[in-house]
Homo-oligomer: A and B are copies of this chain.
Amino acid sequence: TKGLPQITSADGKSAMRLRGRMLFDTSSSFGSNFDRRNITGTKARAIRLGVEGKLGDMIGYQVEFDLTDNQAALRGAYLSFTKKWGDNIYELSLGNRLTDRSMEGASSSDSQPFLERNATALATAPRKGSFGLGAMARVYGKTWHAAVQLDGNEASTNGSVSDSTTLTGRVHWNPWRNSEAIVHLGAWGYREDFSSGVASIPLSTRIGGRFNELITVQASSLLDPDHGQAFGLELGGVYKSFWMFGEYGERDVWARDSAGGRHVGVRAGSIGTGVYLTGEKPPYVARGGVWSKPRVLRPITDGGWGAVEIAARYDQVSYSGPLGGEGYSTTLGLNWYLLDWVRVTPNWIRWRTENRAGAFAGADEGNTVVGRVAVSF
């Protein structure tokens, strides 16, 4: 599948293939009132290596590591069981898996229409991050899917205190669909209960790309956190080569009563749109309501020029409380897919932050230009 090299066992029952991902960024920020924010540099955004395979019809597995920043981190590493029953497909997976939460949050980092997930997915993420170690159950119907994941700490934690736990659910529905168009509705929510080992929750969202860690909207960290909860809504659709999707989300975290029970919330909204100039369909996957990678019609390995997509997005983030900042950003993006696997993506981000604390308090505006080369298989 996908023209990818694959290894199959002699009896044909098990198959295995390598997975790899390289995302290299060059980022330059300019125009900020704070000189320190106007920085330039290169970064390996994600470097992964792994294996995936299947054993008969029912069992699948994946092991994948990320070694960005010269630190090893577990990514997708799970065992899954799939079974058709009536009209629906039931899937149980055990291990470390990307959490099904928000449309862009549930899409892989190499399948986003822009360089980074939208601010809604980022700002409302639970403390555990995009992945969770635990159990996930999914049901796929003809025009919908539902997912529930219960997970403990990330894979790396050791045991001298109980884990934090997070329970996440998401559903999506395609109320209308024909060969040219599809409409997407989605909703998600989670509840997180923090381990006594967690001393504080950082509350900060980068809106000038991943490299520049100084361009953030932020509130002061919440000390002695007790629990958090969040929900979000998704609405959008695809028509021929054109797409438009919006997301809205809220997250609230509370400190322990013994620590005063302080509460901080964040509200975020994002709307994005794009069109493939070269005639491809936007790679919306109706099965799980997420983004995938496009099928390039004229890849350069066949003598073509690849696929070209132009896209734009608006994001807004707002933290509550006396020290809660707010900000927004507008992103223009171009995606040139040389072939299904290889992509060159420049993004131009115009951002504004209004923080009330920290080194960059006050209103500030600027620009960040990021270019990425990505290989992903």
Q: CB within 8 Å of B: which residues of A?
A: 3-11, 13-16, 18, 20, 22, 24, 26-27, 36, 39-44, 47, 49-51, 53, 55-59, 61, 63, 65, 67-74, 77-79, 94-96, 133-134, 151-153, 155-163, 211-214, 300-302, 338-339, 341-342, 373, 375
Cβ–Cβ contact A72 & B71, under 8 A: yes
Query: A-side binding surface: helix, strand, loop or mixed?
Result: strand
Cβ–Cβ contact A41 & B79, under 8 A: no
Q: Which residues of chain B are within 8 angstroms of A5 by Cβ–Cβ distance?
A: 7-9, 14-16, 53
Question: Nearest Cβ in chain B — how far from A124, in angstroms?
Answer: 23
Q: Which residues of chain B are within 8 angstroms of A163 by Cβ–Cβ distance?
A: 40-42
Q: List 21 A-B contacts (CB under 8 A).
A: A3-B9, A4-B14, A5-B7, A7-B7, A20-B61, A22-B95, A24-B95, A26-B134, A39-B159, A41-B152, A41-B157, A41-B162, A42-B163, A44-B77, A44-B133, A49-B51, A70-B71, A79-B342, A94-B373, A95-B373, A158-B211
Q: Which residues of chain B are within 8 angstroms of A301 by Cβ–Cβ distance?
A: 13-14, 55-59
Cβ–Cβ contact A79 & B375, under 8 A: yes
A6 contact from B7, B65, B70, B341, Cβ within 8 A: B7
Q: Copies of this chain, how many?
A: 3
Question: Nearest Cβ in chain B — how far from A92, in angstroms?
Answer: 10
Cβ–Cβ contact A51 & B212, under 8 A: no
Q: Residue of B at shortest CB range from A54?
A: B301
Cβ–Cβ contact B44 & A156, under 8 A: yes
Cβ–Cβ contact B74 & A72, under 8 A: no
Question: Nearest Cβ in chain B — how far from A133, in angstroms?
Answer: 5
Cβ–Cβ contact A20 & B159, under 8 A: no
Cβ–Cβ contact A155 & B47, under 8 A: yes
A68-B156, A72-B72 given; 13 more Cβ-contact pairs under 8 Å:
A4-B9, A22-B95, A24-B94, A24-B95, A26-B134, A36-B161, A39-B160, A40-B163, A42-B133, A43-B159, A56-B339, A59-B301, A69-B155
